């Protein structure tokens, strides 16, 4: 059982490093970074307490929002999905990403207190 899990994982990693274009790997590194930041914030909240609650929420939501937007960007610039996003060029996707981030950061900064 564990054998098959390990073999699935190693197969996956191989496929990933060989067939994913570099651009997407860059975005994936960014996604990992966001994930870790969010997880560490949550850990702090669990260990030390929720004071000040609004700051925690704002930081955590910033991580969650950024993660989601980065995922959207990744989906849109993936060449394999070109058929689904005919009207959206990668540049357009990036511009949307930036705009959405502006709005997200406005809200986050408002809430951070």
Partner 1 sequence: KLLKRNRICLSVFAVVLALAGAQGLTPAHHLSLPDVARLQSLLSQQFTDLESAYYSVLGLTKLGAAVSDHKQVCRFIKSQLDPTSIDSVFFAAEASQAISGCEIPVSNETRDILLAAVSEDSTMTQIHRAVSALSSLGLPVASQEVVGALTARINKEDNVMAITSALQTAARLSKQAELGGILEEIEDLTARLDDLGGIYLQFEEGLEATAMFVTAAYSLSDHVDMEPPLKEDQVIQLVNSIFSKKSWDSLAEAFSVASAAAALSNNRFHVPVFVSAQGPATVSHSQPTLQLLVTDVMSQPLASANVLVESAYAVASKSIILNQAPFTLNDGVFELNFMSKQPASGYYQFTIAVTGDSRLVANHVELKVKVSTEVAVANMDLSVVDKDQSIGTKTTRVDYPSKAKSSFTADSHQNFAMSFQLVDVNTGVELTPHQTFVRLHNQKTGQEVVFVAEPDSKNLYKFELDTAERKSEFDSISGTYSLYLIVGDATLENPILWNVADVVLKFVDEEAPATIQAKTLYVPKPEIQHLFREPEKKPPTVVSNTFTALVMSPFLLLLILWFKLGANISNFSFSPSTILFHVGHAAMLGLMYVYWTHLNMFQTLKYLAIIGGVTFLAGNRMLAQKAVKRYVS
Residues that bind partner 1 (CB under 8 A): 22, 25-26, 29-30, 32-34, 36-37, 40-41, 44, 48-49, 51-52, 89-92, 94-95, 98-99, 102, 105-106, 109-110, 112
For partner 1, give the closer residue by CB, 28 or 75. 28
The answer to whether the beta carbons of residues 31 and 70 sit under 8 Å apart is yes
Q: Closest approach of Cβ 1 to partner 1, in Å?
A: 32
- Which is nearer to partner 1, 7 or 94 (by Cβ)? 94
């Amino acid at each position: 059982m564990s054998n098959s899990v390990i073999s699935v994982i190693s197969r996956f990693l191989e496929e990933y490093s060989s067939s994913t274009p570099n651009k997407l790997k860059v975005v994936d590194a960014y996604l990992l970074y966001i994930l870790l930041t969010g997880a560490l914030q949550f850990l702090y909240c669990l260990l030390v307490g929720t004071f000040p609650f609004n700051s925690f929420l704002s930081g955590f939501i910033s991580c969650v929002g950024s993660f989601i937007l980065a995922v959207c960007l990744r989906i849109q610039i993936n060449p394999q999905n070109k058929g689904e996003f005919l009207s959206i060029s990668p540049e357009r996707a990036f511009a949307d990403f930036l705009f959405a981030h502006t709005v997200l950061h406005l809200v986050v900064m408002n809430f951070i207190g």
